[in-house]
Structure 1
């Protein structure tokens, strides 16, 4: 009976131990990879990127910066040069249909959830070059303080 407790403890500690690193960084997506994904499969026409990669893409040829937050949110601050179309507005899909489908859209919202939804809607409307900012404007402002 005396051996049960040491065996149980040994099994417990062995199960908790791992040689894997505690934190592995997610590799960044490069501009080339973004283009390759968008060109390869329209069903996978969107890519999530970090603030660093998103910033590198702003101002590139044929890119449009798209803020999908509410007017109240954009009034409090936005990324310079962003076009505003509220994803929560009833006419979002109609307004998106008027955009040039050949351009690359850099899409963001407050936290990344609504922009993910906006990108999904845009993909169903035939857009094939969509880039979503991971963490949204919150991540952007945290990076630019």
Structure 2
């Protein structure tokens, strides 16, 4: 193998790695249902995922934040609570979960902990609830 061929091969592999690292799990313009693989997706894909049969929507913000407004049908499991792991352990390991928070930081943490606990069918909302209210016109926020 000559040096040019080797260099081109290495550059190709590096480009593929960089592109895959930047992926959110749902390519722009990709048709089909969102993949529940622990990645965070835009509000449109999240809305589609959350609307799926048997999907549980989980708001991982504090109870106070939840009371101020949350996505319709969401349940509140506060990721910062010392009982988060116990609450996750009670969830169906075969279930699918759409997880969100305020900005996507806590939902990433929650999904990592859920995956460790054996819940692998998860998807997160990129940008958190602010992205939902800003992008999806039909995304009414429930209160109370």
Same fold, TM-score > 0.5, yes or no: yes
Q: Once superposed, what is the RMSD of the aligned Cα atoms?
A: 1.8
- Number of residue-to-residue matches in the alignment: 111
Shift of 1:47: 1.7
Unmatched 5+ stretches in structure 1: 1-25, 36-44
Residue 75 in 1 paired to residue 105 in 2? no
Unmatched 5+ stretches in structure 2: 1-23, 138-144
Structure 2: how far apart are the matches of 1:46 and 1:112? 12
Other structure's SS at 1:105 match: strand
Aligned residue for 2:104?
112
What's the TM-score once normalised by structure 1's chain length? 0.70
What's the TM-score once normalised by structure 2's chain length? 0.71
- Name the CA shift for 1:66/1:90 in 2 (closer, same or farther; >3 Å): same
Match of residue 90, structure 2, among 79, 87, 98:
98
Query: Structure 1 stretches (4+) deviating beyond 2 angstroms?
Result: 26-33
Structure with larger Rg? 1
Shift of 1:144: 4.1
Residue 143 in 1 paired to residue 135 in 2? yes
Shift of 1:56: 1.0
